[in-house]
Amino acid sequence: MFTMQLKHLSQSALARKIALWALSIGLLFFGFLSNLWHVAEQEWFDTHQRDTESLIIGRMVKSRQDGIFSVGGLTGAGITTSIQQDWISENQIDNQYAAYLNRGSFDKFSPYMSQTGGQGMVFSLLDRCIPVSPEIKLWAFYVLTALLSAIALTFIVNWFYEEFGGWVAILVVGSGVLSQWLTVFGKNLWWSLWAFYLPMLVVMWLLKRHSVPTNRQFIRFGILIFTAVLIKCFINGFEYITTTLLMMVTPCIYYAVLDRWRGHQYLKWALAAGLGSGVAIFLSLILLCFQIGAVKGGFMDGVAHVIWSFGKRTYGEVQDYPAVYAASLEAGTVGVVVTYVNGIFFDLNTYLSNTNTFVSDFLLKVRYGYLIVLFMVMSVVLFLRSTKILSERRRHSIALIWTTWFSMLAPLSWYVLFKAHSYIHIHMSFLLWQMPFTFFGFAVVGCAVITWRQGSIEKSNMEGV
């Protein structure tokens, strides 16, 4: 009888997990692929980052024309001007897609030299292997990218499910579905959203199974981090790399607090993470320099371009760059951070019609600043309630609070260190709040509500006795 009950419970738990996976992947996938839930304005969804995605389209045209590794395998556009100095115009973007869909070719090709462009090579390989029309292949690439992004986020959802239960996991799913920034990035071929989360997923998976690791597991940890970061850098280069690395170690904070790591454990994890990711980034930089060298004439030309690009995005000297970069290099860091705190996570105006300007601009637009305040309040509630009730989940709650506020450093690292890039790219860098701060923040909200409810029930039971 007892064995039958255990079997029934295990089957029930498996059924719940399968249902959660199906729900999460389904909601996220259809949102990413077609904006089915109308989280973002449709025109914005249809055109967002079409310029950068056109570089992947251009790579596929060039690969079909001259081979996958032509021009160093770099992405780019069939234009006569330099992408580095003069960005692609709307008409040139349309020409990129037209050339691919109509099986055209380029007389000139301007490579984009600030990213390895691995996603372009992968899609070029798939484009060569799949024997269907370009229209169907392009649609299939969108489906693949949206599905991989949905699966990556669902792994995160599953982690929250295993640690904190179904209601918290559902709230985390909801936060992903309602994020307009995840929605507009979810299927973009250039960004390949899933690759940003891959290093963190590897760490989550390993620590979930080896919370008190041996020396051999530290080596395994370093190798897995090296592999994940190398894949991330190959797929979408060094885009948001500081955010990716801090997001990667976020689960370490959770398990360090939960399992009360000792000093030597902190040191070993930090060393493994630092060496693994450092070697991966170094090799990726070497590869990029060789790619640029294939275009510009030599390896040192690649090194010079990487240094120039780094300064352009951070705190380079104004006189060393074209005048168009002056404002971003001179911008104040605090002002840049404030801009992103005021960004919009979810816009209820998409669903509701309101003529009152104050209501539509400040109440119906859920800004990241509002979420930060909400997460602060709920963190206090969760901390206070978890200390007052008899619950074995208390340490999990405290660990979650610590992890949530550490995770905020991931987006802030880019806004601060890559201040110039953040100043210019306010049309896209709000995405970083979802890496992974908002996920942990909404988990805190869910845990606080559940803990408050449990405390109320225990209090009622005691009064009843």
| pLDDT, tens digit (0-9, with 9 covering 90-100), for 134-150 | 999 999 999 999 999 99
Q: Residue 105: what residue type?
A: S
Per-residue DSSP letter, 378: H
User: Distance between CA 295 and CA 360 in Å, rounded?
Assistant: 50
H-run or E-run covering 111: strand 110-111
| Residue 322's pLDDT band (cuts 50, 70, 90) | confident
Write the pLDDT tens digit of every residue in 393-444: 788 999 999 999 999 999 999 999 999 999 999 999 999 999 999 999 999 9
pLDDT of residue 2: 44
To the nearest 10°, report the CA torsion of 31, 37, 39, 42: 90
Q: What mean pLDDT do residues 80-96 have?
A: 86
DSSP state of 75: -
* pLDDT 10s digits, 241-286: 999 999 999 999 999 999 888 877 778 888 889 999 999 999 999 9
Q: How confident is the model at residue 374 (pLDDT cuts 50, 70, 90)?
A: very high
pLDDT of residue 343: 96
The CA distances from residue 156 to 190, 296, 436, 440, in Å, are 22, 42, 9, 10
For residue 310, give the amino acid letter.
F
Q: How far apart are the first and last CA of the chain?
A: 33
The token pair at 20 is 């959660």
Hey, which bits of 140-246 come out as E strands? none
pLDDT of residue 6: 47
Confidence check: pLDDT of 158 > 50? yes
Share of the chain above pLDDT 90, in %: 72
Of 84-88, 188-192, 407-411, 443-447, give the lowest mean pLDDT range.
84-88
Of 7-11, 209-213, 423-427, 457-461, least confident by mean pLDDT is 457-461
Arithmetic mean of pLDDT, 355-376? 91
Strand duo 365-367 + 110-111: pairing: unpaired
Q: CA–CA separation, 70 vs 59, rounded Å?
A: 9
Nearest 10 degrees: CA dihedral of 385, 391, 395, 401? -30
The model's pTM:
0.93
Rounded CA separation 202/418 (Å):
26
Whose structure tokens read 């295990």? Answer: 10
Check: CB of residue 444 under 8 Å from CB of residue 280.
no
